[in-house]
Chains A and B, each alone.
Chain A
């Protein structure tokens, strides 16, 4: 009888273990599946939101002269910029009101964003946008380098974007390490393929690029008059006797 009771316990235990393993596996697979999909959906939404901000920035900066870019004007208005060697920048967030229309379709309390727009090279008219999107507890960080370049007829930029997208915990506001990383990536991406025409002439192309940048960034200092100041003419009348010459 003891043996039979032992059989029952063993049998029940094995069955329970098998069934619980099956349940656990199913639960894990389904939750992973659902989680992955939810993550993908969030990432798409975060990307769309960040790109919406970038597009809005691009439209605003390209619809006027470079000197009137909004982050420079805001920095000037805040009287903190530009000092020598200080990069003009402006920080924005969902609360700052820079881009009030983005984020449509998202639950009101479920999302937020913060970021920075700043010059990378004022002379080359390249600017960088960092956007950090917080969506349902997940943080997504994006960055773009864009070049301002209006055409003769005011056409908008084309092919002037370099984008970096990461999902990490590094706040976008901590721009220094991100800047360094992006600069290295850009530098690497510019290196020509071995044995290509660009590789053969890389010195020439490098000089040309530098010269183009110098021309793009040229500013002029107002020409000032030199020589004798154009003093006003004096009344014309006969000179008094003994006072020849007068003012000349």
Chain B
């Protein structure tokens, strides 16, 4: 009898081995499949991360160096491409030149500790990266801004590939203004240019629709526009005065969300005291407040520029006519004065002859003298009538002009309005002064060793460049001390923030000719501000005592009083008494009581 032994039978072992083999086979296939998938997944993961890193690096570099895109595409083709591997095979582990500027931090050695933060060489070294930066395609509704928006927004396409794996990321960047072409820059300036004259009038007339000064059918539209000019300019300068110094000079209303606790100029005085100024945060705030002040001033100018120009142009056009009227009035006044004097003498002679006529011995001679005097007086009355008729006709053709001139005279000689307008004369000097006041705290901020963060220094450095550009455009020449400071800033950041250093070194702030050419429209506005301030000064003098317009108005009042027989002059008295110009029959009796007017 065969004994029973524990364990597996041969068949059991065979079946077990078969099952295990089958499952191991399946498992192996699954394992290798999963491994392949994991490799693919890892590659996709790496590719996505690398693409994102490239995009982020471009963004951060653009923050430090706002002129980067213009330098990459100096011809302005609207397209910049670059491609390369993270590491060149020939160069071993050294980063490729393409990635040097994108990734290198502490040098171009991928294994350097500083670089480990940005690039893990093992993960990225064999990847091929293609970058395409192109102008955007704005919507059809962009209209005249199409080219500007095309350049302001850049499409970034980053394609990362290795072997069969590939990943593409599309992103967009906002291009700083330094990168715009001249046509786009011109369009940008146009968008921010002053209000058009017609739009300014439209807005003003809408606001004063129920005001009797401007009702339709009242004064001539051209004259009405001139009056509107005055109030638009008054409002804009007054608002600037309120925002800068905290009070309006004349009473227009400025709407604010809340009433400021202090005016900007008061803040400047406060923050300039050592208690505050010693801290970097207040230097930054001081620069910010002064930027607001200069912006407020320039905005006010931009708003009034076309209106003020219209006002001054009209004044210049009016002046020859005013001078012509003044000359005619002078002639009439002198002639009337002469007639008054001559007639008074004749009246005296007539009265003397009349007294003499009472003497029978001299009656005949006296009668002749009286008749002669009356004839001569009659001739002068006729001459006076001719002068008043002619002058009256001439003045009737200039009624609109005289209305406007009288209004402007009243406007410019009203102390409140004149003070507001005279603020305009200080604009160019205040603009220059405020730019200096921005520069000083920025300079001190950058010199301060404690307080500012590196990012604040970056922003302050870029602002310093912008202010220097403005100051140079205002000066009309380069500013060597400021440029030296920018160079020193560039050297100080050459190793720590290379893109910023590049920007500081290569910005067009260093080339005044290029700067002026690129900012021609701004420069033109700046020059217009200076020119209009000078023109205003010249024009407003015409309304001062002794000025052309003031003199003409004095003459006008004098001659008008003569013509309207209200002057009290001899001729006016006679004319009043004899009634109409044709009624001179009772001249002899009209002469009774005629006396020269008392000296004023």
Which one of B37, B176, B260, B392 contacts A30 once the chains associate, using CB atoms below 8 Å?
B37
Distance in Å from the Cβ of B333 to the closest Cβ of chain A?
14
Assuming the contacts A217-B257, A230-B213, asked whether A222 and B235 have C-beta atoms less than 8 A apart, the reply is yes
Distance in Å from the Cβ of A206 to the closest Cβ of chain B?
10
Assuming the contacts A40-B48, A229-B212, asked whether A154 and B188 have C-beta atoms less than 8 A apart, the reply is yes
Distance in Å from the Cβ of B470 to the closest Cβ of chain A?
6
Assuming the contacts A63-B145, A221-B254, A233-B402, asked whether A210 and B136 have C-beta atoms less than 8 A apart, the reply is no
Which residues of chain B come closer than 8 Å to A186, judged between CB atoms? none
B15 sits at the interface (CB 8 A): yes
Which residues of chain B come closer than 8 Å to A208, judged between CB atoms? 267, 285, 289
Complex: A232 Cα to B391 Cα, angstroms = 18
Which one of B31, B55, B220 contacts A26 once the chains associate, using CB atoms below 8 Å?
B31
Complex: A49 Cα to B172 Cα, angstroms = 8
B262 sits at the interface (CB 8 A): yes
Contact with B along A233-248 (1 / 0, CB 8 A): 1111111110011100
Which residues of chain B come closer than 8 Å to A63, judged between CB atoms? 145, 148-149, 152, 188, 191
Distance in Å from the Cβ of B535 to the closest Cβ of chain A?
22
Interface of B is mostly: helix
Distance in Å from the Cβ of B65 to the closest Cβ of chain A?
12
- Number of B interface residues at 8 Å Cβ cutoff, please give it: 134
Assuming the contacts A7-B8, A15-B19, A158-B459, asked whether A235 and B139 have C-beta atoms less than 8 A apart, the reply is no
| B71-79, B82-90, B200-208 - the one binding chain A | B200-208
Let me know if A7 and B392 touch, CB within 8 A.
no
Which residues of chain B come closer than 8 Å to A33, judged between CB atoms? 37-38, 41
Complex: A37 Cα to B47 Cα, angstroms = 11
Which residues of chain B come closer than 8 Å to A62, judged between CB atoms? 152
Which one of A8, A230, A240 contacts B227 once the chains associate, using CB atoms below 8 Å?
A230
Let me know if A236 and B406 touch, CB within 8 A.
no
Distance in Å from the Cβ of B552 to the closest Cβ of chain A?
13
Contact with A along B251-295 (1 / 0, CB 8 A): 011111111111010010000000010011110010011011011
Within 8 A of B (CB), among A119-169: 123, 150-159
A100 sits at the interface (CB 8 A): yes
Let me know if A215 and B243 touch, CB within 8 A.
yes
Complex: A212 Cα to B293 Cα, angstroms = 10
Distance in Å from the Cβ of A39 to the closest Cβ of chain B?
11
Which one of B16, B155, B292 contacts A104 once the chains associate, using CB atoms below 8 Å?
B155
Which residues of chain B come closer than 8 Å to A104, judged between CB atoms? 155, 157, 170
Which residues of chain B come closer than 8 Å to A34, judged between CB atoms? 37, 41
Which one of B279, B296, B403 contacts A230 once the chains associate, using CB atoms below 8 Å?
B403
- The chain B residue with its CB closest to the CB of A48 is B171
Let me know if A60 and B149 touch, CB within 8 A.
yes
B52 sits at the interface (CB 8 A): yes
Contact with B along A32-75 (1 / 0, CB 8 A): 01100100110011001101100110111011110000000000
Let me know if B27 and A22 touch, CB within 8 A.
yes
- Looking at A16, A26, A154, A229, the one whose CB has the most chain B CB atoms below 10 A away is A154
- Looking at A29, A99, A241, A244, the one whose CB has the most chain B CB atoms below 10 A away is A241
Complex: A207 Cα to B174 Cα, angstroms = 33
Let me know if A123 and B235 touch, CB within 8 A.
no
Let me know if A237 and B234 touch, CB within 8 A.
no
Let me know if A98 and B174 touch, CB within 8 A.
no
Within 8 A of A (CB), among B37-56: 37-38, 41-42, 44-45, 48, 51-52, 55
Let me know if B462 and A48 touch, CB within 8 A.
no
Let me know if A19 and B27 touch, CB within 8 A.
yes
Within 8 A of A (CB), among B130-179: 136-139, 141-142, 145, 148-149, 152-153, 155, 157, 167-178
Which residues of chain B come closer than 8 Å to A97, judged between CB atoms? 139, 141
Distance in Å from the Cβ of B347 to the closest Cβ of chain A?
20
B395 sits at the interface (CB 8 A): yes
Let me know if A37 and B41 touch, CB within 8 A.
yes
B250 sits at the interface (CB 8 A): yes
B399 sits at the interface (CB 8 A): yes
Let me know if A211 and B267 touch, CB within 8 A.
yes
B238 sits at the interface (CB 8 A): yes
Which residues of chain B come closer than 8 Å to A26, judged between CB atoms? 30-31, 34
- The chain A residue with its CB closest to the CB of B6 is A3
Let me know if B153 and A236 touch, CB within 8 A.
no
Complex: A208 Cα to B292 Cα, angstroms = 12
Which one of B42, B192, B231, B252 contacts A154 once the chains associate, using CB atoms below 8 Å?
B192
A95 sits at the interface (CB 8 A): no
Which residues of chain B come closer than 8 Å to A180, judged between CB atoms? none
Let me know if B192 and A65 touch, CB within 8 A.
yes
Let me know if B207 and A207 touch, CB within 8 A.
no
Which residues of chain B come closer than 8 Å to A236, judged between CB atoms? 391-392, 395-396, 560, 563-564
Which one of A152, A213, A220, A221 contacts B470 once the chains associate, using CB atoms below 8 Å?
A152
Complex: A204 Cα to B279 Cα, angstroms = 13
Let me know if B292 and A215 touch, CB within 8 A.
yes
Which one of B139, B167, B285, B563 contacts A98 once the chains associate, using CB atoms below 8 Å?
B139
Complex: A32 Cα to B160 Cα, angstroms = 23
- Nearest first, the 6 A-B pairs at minimum CB distance are A223-B252, A223-B235, A222-B207, A52-B172, A220-B239, A230-B407
| A-binding residues in B (CB < 8 A) | 8-9, 12, 15-16, 19-20, 23, 26-27, 30-31, 34, 37-38, 41-42, 44-45, 48, 51-52, 55, 63, 66, 136-139, 141-142, 145, 148-149, 152-153, 155, 157, 167-178, 185, 188-189, 191-192, 203-204, 207-208, 211-213, 218-220, 227, 231-232, 234-236, 238-239, 242-243, 250, 252-262, 264, 267, 276, 279-282, 285, 288-289, 291-292, 294-296, 298, 388, 391-392, 395-396, 399-400, 402-403, 406-407, 410, 451, 455, 459, 462, 466, 469-470, 519, 522, 560, 563-566, 575-576, 579-581
Q: A8-B12, A151-B291 are in contact. List 20 more A-B contacts (CB 8 A).
A: A11-B16, A12-B16, A30-B34, A40-B45, A41-B44, A44-B169, A62-B152, A64-B192, A65-B192, A157-B174, A158-B176, A220-B238, A220-B253, A222-B208, A223-B231, A223-B234, A233-B403, A235-B395, A236-B560, A244-B576
